[in-house]
Each structure stands twice: as structure tokens, then as C-alpha cells.
Amino acid sequence: MSELTLTVMRLGFLAVLWLFVIVAVQVIRSDLFGTRVTQRGSRREAARPQQPGRQQARQQQAAPPQQRGQQGGGGRRGRNAPSKLVVTEGTLTGTTVALQGQTITLGRAHDSTIVLDDDYASSRHARIYPDRDGQWIVEDLGSTNGTYLDRSRLTTPTPIPLGAPIRIGKTAIELRK
Amino acid sequence: MSSTTNSPTHHTSTIGAIGAPSRRNTELALLVFAVAIPVFAYANVGLAISDEVPAGLLSYGLGLALLAGVAHLAVRKFAPYADPLLLPLATLLNGLGLVVIWRLDQSKLLQSLRGFSPAAPRQLLYTALAIAVFAVVLIFLKDHRVLQRYTYISMFGALVLLILPLVPGLGANIYGAKIWIRIPGLGSLQPGEFAKIVLAVFFAGYLMVKRDALALASRRFMGLYLPRGRDLGPILVVWAISILILVFETDLGTSLLFFGMFVIMLYVATERTSWIVFGLLMSAVGAVGVASFEPHIQTRVQAWLNPMREYELSRQITHDGILHSDQLQQSLWAFGSGGTLGTGWGQGHSDLIKFAANSDFVLATFGEELGLAGVMAILLIYGLIVERGVRTALAARDPFGKLLAVGLSGAFALQVFVVAGGVMGLIPLTGMTMPFLASGGSSVLANWALIAILIRISDTARRPAPTPAANPDAEMTQVVRPS
């Protein structure tokens, strides 16, 4: 075999080997699928097919709470959109939290947005978050004593009407304009 | 756009977790690539050595493709959401290992050695067995959390595996290191290779339960969290056992792997840097302490510090009763003569290493024939396997799976470091083998099983969450409704 052929093969092999490594790294790059950012407003445009949006909505319901806790998603403020959350009963009476599109967690755990000092509350009791349309939703996080919206115990994530009390143990919370 | 009505503090976009695509077709494409590269190398070796394409090219290529295909189908069927890279990377390394073993089989020098028998057919057989083990693990290990039940059984299993080479009549002392067992009629086996998997299961199960005690009860001193005295118990026990391995089996590699894996997993479980500091101090003290009185370790250290003297002694007749070996010096020369781009497949002289050229020293052949560029690519491929393992740990949702994936990839990384460092003269040489590349049945079997477990964990981690059951009341109350 001629020297030239062998040299070409030698360099060719190294090139192919490195090509494999580069392709593998490219696969890693395309594999960073952890989150998807949906631009508001462009959702209804034809550019984004309907299906991913649908999947995402399902995902939002299906994903475990700690994953969802990080989702932002501020809503468009309509005329009747609530702007603050007020504690109306319980030890924290008078506390208000401005609603700025962030998820609000309620519970006795010290990292909750509202740390409930309430013997009937679980450490991670409930959370309040805006959905994609800016509607605020309350969801019970599997608490022991349950979360009540007005009189009914929550079983599923539920939109919060303005002024309806969310009751957790001795605490009641309302959304206000 | 309506989003312009939002104030700057308002998020204008929604970030949501999305389901992972299964990526099986990506894996298949990469696998084709990973089979083609060794076939290219095989043809190249044949052309360089005997001026013709080797006769076995077709059967060899088809054999490797068949094995890769079986593995791929097993993943497609039993772990459809698994990481797309682990299988092709392992296949490529295994294929290149087969080529290099076959290439060393062609060496006239090695053929003239006493007890020579071609290693490549044996290795191909072991690879086939290993792929079968890979498939069996994927089929029967439906959920890696099952392993959690066997935490303490794994501890005993691992201890038994580690002690086996010391059992009289079963253990075999091969060139000083007692890390082999010989099963009559079946050949020899390196139980340490399997012990690393079983140990990872034990450490993961144990640390998952004890992590809080080990992480929280500590005092802060000079920026380090000092654990309480009684919490030092586990690390001391593991350290003592690894020292005992070093003393009785005289193998630095197994000892380092065993202790290092525990320290890595302890660090990941507790997030306390102090464990790393303690671990490094303890292993340094242990290694230096044992090296001061154990003659076999001393020999290894001497050979490491002064390979040239060892080379000269091996040319002379010495009467000190120590087996002098020129292997390390030959290996260093092999790396050196490879240069940046190597001599090309089949054109190096790494066969001068003679004994263990195709097992412990297999990297030296790559160093000589593919050069720095080739060795870097190989090390990167190992690095990618480790990266995918750690990525799997990050994505895994259960703490046991996280720790197990970290432990397995940590053990894999340590093994590569110990072997590569050994043949390059960075650390004293040990009796471990390069995963997938080196000739040896236990190694290839154990490492394919390891990859199978990682694939299983990654499948669980990347599987999209199931859609919630339809709620009859959902129509009324649910607002997060598919639009």
C-alpha cells in the first residue's frame, strides 16, 4: 500500500472519529428540551402549530408541583384582573401580596411565599398561579386538611373569582383588584 | 402584539416543561456511524499490515452491526425514552476495542510469545454475551427503584465479590495483584468489575436514607462544614475496607475506585464540600501509609517514579526477587512516538509492551497509532458517557435514581482516570482495564450492564408524565383546558 494512501486513511480516520464526537455533542445540544418558552400573542398565529400548545397545557397539569413552581406566566391584565392577594382571616390578617405573574405558594414550609402560621395547614398546602390567559388558579397540593374555595373543598385546580375566600385552616385569603 | 401591554416586570412568555421526544431515530443514525468507524479502522489495519482488505471484514462488520442492532431494538422496545447517546458511544468504544485487539493479534512479536492465542474472537464472543446481558437487564429491570429494595443485600454481595479473590483455591495472583478469581472450566473473572455496580446500588440506597443526618448535623469551621464525630462512621468504615483491599489484594485501582465512588456519592447526597476534602486527605494518608510497607505497592510506585530504571533492570538479570517490567516505559515511548497525529493504524510498535498490551495498556496502542488527536477523541467519548450519566442523574426525579446514576458514572470516570493515568505515568499503574476497549470478559460484561442500568434510569427520567385521568367534574372547574 502506498505511503500516500495510508496517510490519507490515517488523517481520514481521525477526521471521522472527531466528526463522530462533534455529531454526538450536537445531539446533546439538540437534547436540551427541558423547557419551552411560548411567546404570548404569537400563540394564535399560524406559525406555531396547535398541537404543541395542547401538549403543553397537558404537561402543565401533569408535571409535578416543584417543576411547575418555577413557571412564570404573567397574565394580560384585563379590567377585572386582580392586582393583589389579601389575607382576611387568621394570624396573618392584613398581609397583602402583589400579583405580578409569579406563583404564590402557601404553607408552613419556610420557603413558601406566604408562610402560614396555622396548625391546620400542611407544609406545602396550596399554590396560586396564573394560567396562560392570566386567570388566577388555586390548587391544593395534597394537603391534609384541604383547601376550600368558599365552601367547597378543592379537588382540581380551580380559577379564583374576585373576592371569593380561599380557606386554609383558620386562614382566609382573597384576591382583590 | 398584546404582550406590549405588560409592564416590564411582567413575564411575557410562559415557560413550561415539554415532553421529550424519544430520540430513537437519532440513536439509530449515530449507531450506524458508530459501527462504520470501527469497520473503517479494521480495513485500515488490514491494508497497512498485509496490503489487503482483511478477509473477515464483512463478517466482522455484520457481526458488530448485528450486535448494535439487537441492542438498539432492545432499547427501542424496553426503554423508548432513553438517552440517545449512551448506546452509540459504548458501541463505538467496544468496536474500536475489537479492532485494536485484532490488530495486536496480528503482531508477529506477540504471536511469538509463550501462551499466545488470538484474543479478538474471544472478545467478540464476550461482546455478544455482554449485549445479551444488556438486553436482559433492560427486559427484567423494569424500574430501577426495584434495586433499592436490595440495599443491604447489595452490601453483602459487594463484600463477597471483593473478598472472593482472596479465597484460597479460587483467587488467582496474577503478577502481584490479587483481583482475579479462577473458575475451573470457565476461565478467570475479575469480580471487582461487577462489585462496582453492586456497590453503587448499596451506596445509593444507604445514602438516600442517611443523607439528611450527614448533611445537616455539622458545624461550620473555616468555611467548611465539619461533620459530627459519629457521622464520620460510614466514611471511616468504607475507608478501612478500601485500605484492607489495598493491603490484601495489593490493587490500588480497586481500592481507589471503591473509596472514590463513595466520596463522590457522599458529596452529591449531602452537598458538603468538606466530604471531598476529608476523602482526599484520607485516601492520600491511606495510600502513602500502605505504600510504606507493602512491597508490591512499593514496586509499582518505584516503576511509576522511575520507569527508565525499571526498563534497564528488566534487561538485566537481577537477584532481588522482584519482577521488573519494561511495560510502563514502553507505553510511554508508544505515546511519545505517536506524536500529534499518530503513525496510523497497524503501523506502530506498541506490541513491544508485550504482556497486557491489549488489556491494561490498550490505550498506548491508540496513543501510538492515532496520536494525541485520537486519544483525545477517545477520552472525550468517555467523557460524553460520563456526562450523559450525570445528566441522567440531574433529570431523574427520585433520589435513589439520582444517586445511582451519579455513582455509576462516577465509578466509570474514576476507572478511566485510574487506567489512563496509569499507562501515561500520571499515577502508579494498577491492574484495572479500560472500559470497553480492553480485552477481558468481565470488564466488557460489567460495563454493558452498567450502561444498561444508566439507560434504564434515563428512560424513567425522560419519560413524559402520563396524562391525568379524566375527571368528570373537570368540564366545570378546570380552566387549564386544552385550547
Interchain proximity B341–A60, CB inside 8 Å: no
A26 at B interface, C-beta within 8 A: no
Q: Is the pTM of this model over 0.80?
A: no
Interchain proximity A38–B17, CB inside 8 Å: no
Interchain proximity B10–A74, CB inside 8 Å: yes
- The alpha-carbon radius of gyration of chain B (Å, integer) is 25
Residue B218: the pLDDT is 66
A71 at B interface, C-beta within 8 A: yes
Interchain proximity A67–B17, CB inside 8 Å: yes
Query: Closest Cα of chain A to B41: distance in Å?
Result: 7
Chain pair A-B, CB pairs under 8 angstroms: 206
Query: Closest Cα of chain A to B6: distance in Å?
Result: 7
CA B434-B118-B367 angle, to 5 degrees, is 40
- Residues on chain A touching B17 (C-beta within 8 angstroms): 34-36, 59-60, 63, 67-68
Task: Select from B14, B81, B100 the residue whose CB has the most chain A CBs within 10 Å, as the one to mutate to test that interface.
Answer: B14
Interchain proximity B482–A71, CB inside 8 Å: no
Residue A112: the pLDDT is 82
- Residues on chain B touching A68 (C-beta within 8 angstroms): 17
- Tell me the three cell numbers of residue B108: 508477529
Task: Select from B345, B480, B483 the residue whose CB has the most chain A CBs within 10 Å, as the one to mutate to test that interface.
Answer: B480
Residue B310: the pLDDT is 79
Residue B184: the pLDDT is 64
A27 at B interface, C-beta within 8 A: yes
Instruction: Choose the closest CB to A1 out of B11, B48, B466.
Output: B48
CB A154 within 8 A of CB A135: no
CB B226 within 8 A of CB B220: yes
Q: Which of residues 102-121 of A touch B (CB under 8 A)?
A: none
DSSP B52: S
Residue A44: closest CA among chain B residues belongs to which residue? B483
d(CA B352, CA B32): 34
- Residues on chain A touching B13 (C-beta within 8 angstroms): 37-40, 72-73
Instruction: Choose the closest CB to A59 out of B10, B17, B373.
Output: B17
Residue B201: the pLDDT is 93
d(CA B392, CA A77): 40
Sequence-ordered list of residues with C-beta below 8 angstroms from that of B440, at least 6 positions apart, any chain: B126, B190, B359, B433
A55 at B interface, C-beta within 8 A: yes
Query: Closest Cα of chain B to A141: distance in Å?
Result: 15
Sequence-ordered alpha helix ranges (H) in chain A = 3-30, 50-62, 65-68
Residue A14: closest CA among chain B residues belongs to which residue? B374
Q: Which of residues 112-171 of A touch B (CB under 8 A)?
A: 131-133, 135, 137, 155-159
Interchain proximity A156–B377, CB inside 8 Å: no
The ipTM estimated for the assembled molecules is 0.85
Query: Closest Cα of chain B to A66: distance in Å?
Result: 11
Q: Name the 3-class secondary structure at B308.
A: helix
Sequence-ordered alpha helix ranges (H) in B233-370 = 233-248, 252-270, 273-291, 295-305, 307-315, 327-338, 362-369
Interchain proximity B344–A39, CB inside 8 Å: no
- Residues on chain B touching A55 (C-beta within 8 angstroms): 18-19
CB A112 within 8 A of CB A124: yes
Give the dihedral sign, CA B200/B202/B204/B207.
negative
Residue A77: closest CA among chain B residues belongs to which residue? B6
| pLDDT tens digits in sequence order for chain B, 483 residues long | 333 333 444 444 555 555 556 788 889 999 999 999 999 999 999 888 888 888 888 888 899 999 999 999 999 999 998 999 999 999 999 999 999 999 888 888 877 877 777 888 888 999 999 999 999 999 999 888 888 888 889 888 888 888 887 777 666 666 656 667 776 666 677 888 888 899 899 999 988 888 877 776 666 666 666 767 677 777 788 888 878 877 777 777 888 888 899 899 989 988 888 888 888 888 888 888 888 887 777 878 888 888 888 788 877 776 666 667 788 888 899 999 988 998 888 888 878 877 777 778 889 999 999 999 999 999 999 999 999 999 999 988 888 999 999 999 999 999 999 999 988 989 888 778 889 998 888 889 999 999 999 999 999 888 876 655 554 444 444 444 454
Residue with cell 386544552: B482
- Tell me the three cell numbers of residue B78: 424496553
- Residues on chain B touching A10 (C-beta within 8 angstroms): 44, 341-345
Question: Which stretches in chain A have pLDDT values below 70?
Answer: 1, 33-80
CB B253 within 8 A of CB B430: yes
